A and B are shown apart, each in its own frame.
Chain A
């Protein structure tokens, strides 16, 4: 409960800082919308009228509170440049980005955990060395570059291009999968590298503890000892790091979506930032932060649920 209140306070602070960054620092939003020249050509009366139309001429605290009210009412405002509202954009593009994030999470565990376990089984063996080298490599490779190379390679050798129009999962699972598979796997491999590293070091630490020695002394098979006794105890930190890694997934997906040409939310955010579409940026950045914070609260709660020694008062 206290954790949730903290998170709510954090999110309130997040919304204030987004508002301050986007409204107070850049000066005149009209210059942002129209460009310096367009702004200069306009008559002052028109400027005032447009500002009032956009609701940008009220005092900043009023604007801020109205923004919060709008969010509570589900109205997220409209793009300066496009007809669609931000809510429509999120509904239209959100699912595809969410699929990518979930896929990345699944891939990271499917790849990272077995590799980590294998490494920890025989530390400093050849497979362990290979696994560690690969994880160091995948942590260093920028996802968007890997994505570009994959797109290029498919194009060169197979003349293949993934569909560029959004296809909902329930309409055509196959086409949908073609869109999300690339970004999901690329993002997942990078996170998987962290998970492999983490699970290896956690397992090695747990394996040196007394209860594992007891289990071995009882004559249990090594595989059973690791999977049944050591692994559950080593998993908790890995789950935590997975929540922290979500930040990389969310941030990274913005660049990776661009590399794959996926029309997801990240793409919408980039477009809005380049066009200086303040309302869209403000809401999308908030959305990303909300997801990040909420998931980390869930991770913390699951932590307490999985490990009865930890209780959040």
Chain B
């Protein structure tokens, strides 16, 4: 007994104080091995920071028109030029990051969470519930993403929530299918059987035994779908069925730019560049997270899923 009590404080300090340090060393090791992912993560963090600190960083009010400075190319006063009604492009791109990231994060978290919970239930309960759910997910995946999102946002009206909801729905079946396959393996594990044998209810076993196993694939899924969500949001805005103007979003800005007969190049270029850099950063980060957390989600595995049904 005394030996154990003596050892305890040491463990406590090992877990307590230097936690930050171990986290840092972990991060350094991660970035050595996955330089690209680390760069992606860093750029992604910067963009998140820009989005959060938009009011502090934007040089002007993104909504304020200035009719003395319309269609100005980039100069000292407005670094990325101004649009048809004299709004500052740089400020609008910065505020656009806010909308885009907010929509993408909310939609991915909402869609992947719902899909994952559904997937856990399918994989664990099996039977008729699983069969019916699989058919429903197949139906959801029969629509091309963008077209389904368009139809849904048309039905429930345009607006921030509508766009989030529309994109979230397109993410559900992805979460559902991947997490279902995880749950299918986990349910055969001895400890799950032990839980069942000791009389745990299905809900309890799913919550304390199956769900924790799904955290890693969940993170992988969510991070790989961020980029897709950003592109869908931008495309909806570009097509005029996204978050309605005057809210600055990257897609809206691109849509505005082509209404001109001879579109000013800076209006067409910078918002798209912002989309590309953001998507690139999140994709690289997502690939890195996948490599580290879940080899099961490697391309080889996903291919097997896609090709599926080897009989």
Binding site for B on A (CB under 8 A): 6, 9-11, 13-14, 17-18, 21-22, 25-26, 136-137, 139-142, 144-145, 148-149, 152, 155-156, 197-198, 201-202, 205, 236-237, 240-241, 244, 247-248, 250-252, 254-255, 258-259, 269-270, 273-274, 276, 281, 285, 288-289, 292-293, 303, 309-313
Residues of B222-253 at the interface with A, using a CB-CB cut-off of 8 Å, are 227, 231, 234-235, 238-241
- The distance in angstroms between the C-alpha atoms of A300 and B279, with both chains bound, is 31
Closest-CB distance, B147 to chain A (whole angstroms): 5
Chain A interface mostly: helix
Asked whether A13 and B139 contact (CB < 8 A) given A202-B303, A273-B154, the answer is yes
- The distance in angstroms between the C-alpha atoms of A281 and B156, with both chains bound, is 14
- The distance in angstroms between the C-alpha atoms of A241 and B308, with both chains bound, is 12
Provide the B137-152 mask, 1 if CB < 8 A to any CB of A, else 0: 0111011111110111
Chain B residue numbers with a CB within 8 Å of A288 are 143-144, 147
Q: Is B258 in the interface zone, CB < 8 Å from A?
A: yes
- The distance in angstroms between the C-alpha atoms of A309 and B155, with both chains bound, is 45
Q: Is B263 in the interface zone, CB < 8 Å from A?
A: yes
Q: Is the CB of A152 within 8 A of B263?
A: yes
Closest-CB distance, A222 to chain B (whole angstroms): 23
Choose among B140, B231, B272, B283 the residue with the greatest number of A CB atoms under 10 Å from its CB. B231
Q: How large is the interface on B (under 10, 10 to 19, 20 to 34, 35 or more residues)?
A: 35 or more
Q: Is B56 in the interface zone, CB < 8 Å from A?
A: no
Specify the chain B residue showing the minimal Cβ separation from A241.
B306
- The distance in angstroms between the C-alpha atoms of A309 and B307, with both chains bound, is 13
Asked whether A247 and B145 contact (CB < 8 A) given A26-B155, A145-B276, A273-B150, the answer is yes
- The distance in angstroms between the C-alpha atoms of A21 and B170, with both chains bound, is 14
Binding site for A on B (CB under 8 A): 135-136, 138-140, 142-148, 150-152, 154-157, 227, 231, 234-235, 238-241, 254, 257-258, 262-263, 265, 268-269, 272, 275-276, 279-280, 283-284, 299-300, 303, 306-307, 309-311
- Can you list 17 A-B pairs with a CB-CB distance of less than 8 A? A13-B139, A21-B152, A25-B155, A140-B227, A142-B279, A149-B272, A197-B299, A244-B306, A247-B144, A247-B145, A258-B239, A259-B238, A259-B258, A270-B240, A288-B144, A292-B143, A310-B311
- The distance in angstroms between the C-alpha atoms of A77 and B2, with both chains bound, is 85
Chain B interface mostly: helix
Chain A residue numbers with a CB within 8 Å of B269 are 149
Chain B residue numbers with a CB within 8 Å of A273 are 150-151, 154, 239, 241
Q: Is the CB of A240 within 8 A of B307?
A: yes
Asked whether A201 and B143 contact (CB < 8 A) given A140-B227, A141-B276, A148-B254, the answer is no
Closest-CB distance, B302 to chain A (whole angstroms): 9
Chain B residue numbers with a CB within 8 Å of A254 are 146-147, 150, 235, 239
Chain A residue numbers with a CB within 8 Å of B268 are 145, 148-149, 152
Specify the chain B residue showing the minimal Cβ separation from A255.
B235
Q: Is the CB of B280 within 8 A of A10?
A: no
Contact of A14 among B142, B227, B238, B254 (CB under 8 A): B142
Q: Is the CB of A137 within 8 A of B280?
A: yes
- The distance in angstroms between the C-alpha atoms of A104 and B227, with both chains bound, is 22
Q: Is the CB of B300 within 8 A of A251?
A: no
Specify the chain A residue showing the minimal Cβ separation from B278.
A140
Specify the chain B residue showing the minimal Cβ separation from A200.
B299
